[in-house]
Amino acid sequence: MKRVTIKDIAKVANVSYTTVSRALSGSSEIGEGTRQRILQIGKDMGYTANAVARSLVAKETKLIGLLVSSINNPFMSEIAYHVEESARKKGYNLMLCNSSGNIEQEEEAYKLLVGRQVDGIILVPCGAHSYERLHPYLDTVPTVFVSENLRDIQESYVTVDNHRGTYIGVEYLYSLGHRSIVYFARRLASTTHQLRAQGYGDACKALHLKPQYVDSHFASSSIQHGYTLALEWFRGKHNYSAIFAAADTIALGILQAAEECGVRIPEDVSLLGFDNISFSALPKINLSTIEQPKHMMASVAVEMLIEKMKTPAMRYSHKIMNPELVIRGSCKAVPQI
């Protein structure tokens, strides 16, 4: 398992190892003849450059840390896929960490990535407190926050206009005739989710609807959490004709609970999600939802990060993407009285 080094090549080629280094790095200060000869020997010996050694002297690793709450979550894995692709195209590789939606673990992972000398970090934070928590390390390494809208925070982020997302969602439901819409699984610990709830609230106000919230105290939005919350909700008696779920995963959980409780969607109640994860498009699910442009957000995040890495003068920038209404089959028009 002994690896071939630059010195081994030098010995065979009968040159100094500096020359080998130059041949490999495509330096101009070398004769084309020697270069070709050395390159050939390198190939023959099965040489692979040691990126660790290179990083040590170059003081850059060409590594981007990707820190997500859980890669096993359709939203994050879509983001991860596109981040990987964009990064690779720009010559960067990914170091992947899960925070499991846990702020301590998130901090641990962040520090670890710093120690690993990643050139930058893309972070899908687990909540609104991530920023304060990570603040001490934030000028150690360029960081871009994704998805979690941290509003006026002085750090780069890319997110969707969450407020607008729920706003247009409510307008859509309103246009279908719904006058009593519940906002489901509001998570106050996340700024993103605060904004979504607020967009919902503001739209309700503008349309003279009475807002109604079902709060979630869970740290994340999962099918399981949506299910649990919905089960309780369906057991009670409420006056509403539509549910606006804070996330598609929540909506999927609601779908599950509805099925079990004999609530038909969209016949009995309309359901609108947020995120547009790939599974929402399945015809059996067929969930109308608000799309977050994940591909775009991922590549923008990578670009922002690289820009920040290369331009130390740049402090931070915020990019807010446009959400889009995706109409499928989970919302039904209701007759007006």
Binding residues for a second copy (CB under 8 A): 1, 3, 46, 48-53, 55-56, 61, 63, 66, 70-74, 77-78, 80-82, 84-85, 88, 93-98, 111-112, 114-117, 136, 139-141, 223, 252, 255-256, 259-260, 278-279, 282-285, 312
Q: Give the span between the Cα atoms of 93 and 78, in whole angstroms.
A: 17
Instruction: Show the tokens assigned to 49.
Output: 């450059």
Residues of this chain, 13-52, that bind DNA according to CB under 7 A? 15-19, 21-22, 24-25, 28-35, 49-50
In the block, tokens 């000028």 appear at 139
Q: In angstroms, what is the minimal distance from the CB of 107 to DNA?
A: 20
Q: Is 311 helix (H, G, I), strand (E, B) or coil?
A: coil
Residue 13: C-alpha distances to residues 49, 61, 278, 337 (Å):
17, 29, 54, 90
Helix (H, G, I), strand (E, B) or coil at 87: helix
**Token pair in block for residue 112:** 């670890």
Residue 15 interacts, among a second copy, DNA, none and using kind-specific CB cut-offs from 5 to 8 Å, with DNA
> What count of residues does the chain have?
337
Per partner kind, with CB cut-offs from 5 to 8 A, the member of DNA, a second copy, none near residue 134 is: none
Shortest distance, CB of residue 87 to DNA, whole angstroms? 21
Q: How many chain residues are in contact with DNA, going by CB under 7 A? A: 29
In the complex with a second copy, which residue's Cβ is closer, 212 or 256?
256
The least CB distance from residue 51 to a second copy, in Å, is 5
Q: Smaller CB distance to a second copy: residue 215 or 232?
A: 232
- Decide: is 57 part of the binding site for DNA (CB under 7 A): yes
Total Cβ atoms within 10 A of residue 16:
11
Instruction: Report the nearest approach of DNA to the CB of residue 20 (Å).
Output: 7
Among a second copy, DNA, none, the one that 302 touches (CB under a kind-dependent 5 to 8 A) is none
Judged by beta carbon distances under 5 to 8 A according to partner kind, the member of a second copy, DNA, none in contact with residue 44 is none
| Residue of 11, 45, 56, 108 that binds DNA (CB under 7 A) | 56
List strands edge to edge, sheet with 324-326: 212-215, 181-186, 242-245, 270-275, 288-291, 324-326
Dist. CA 47–CA 39, nearest whole Å: 9
- Residue closer to DNA by CB (options 6, 195) is 6
- Name the binder of 212 from DNA, a second copy, none, CB < 5-8 A by kind: none
User: In Å, what is the CA distance from 74 to each residue of 194, 250, 294?
Assistant: 21, 12, 11
Least separation in angstroms between residue 15's CB and DNA is 4
Please say which residue, 197 or 223, places its beta carbon nearer to a second copy. Answer: 223
Tokens, residue 25: 């790095």
125 contacts 106 by C-beta, under 8 angstroms: yes
For residues 121 and 110, the answer to whether their CB atoms sit within 8 Å is yes
Q: In the window 183-212, what residues touch DNA (CB under 7 A)?
A: none
**Residue 312 interaction partner, one of DNA, a second copy, none, beta carbon < 5-8 Å per kind:** a second copy
One-letter amino acid at 53 equals: A
Q: Which residues pair with 289 in a beta bridge?
A: 273, 326
The footprint of DNA (CB under 7 A) covers 3, 5-7, 15-19, 21-22, 24-25, 28-35, 49-50, 53-54, 56-59
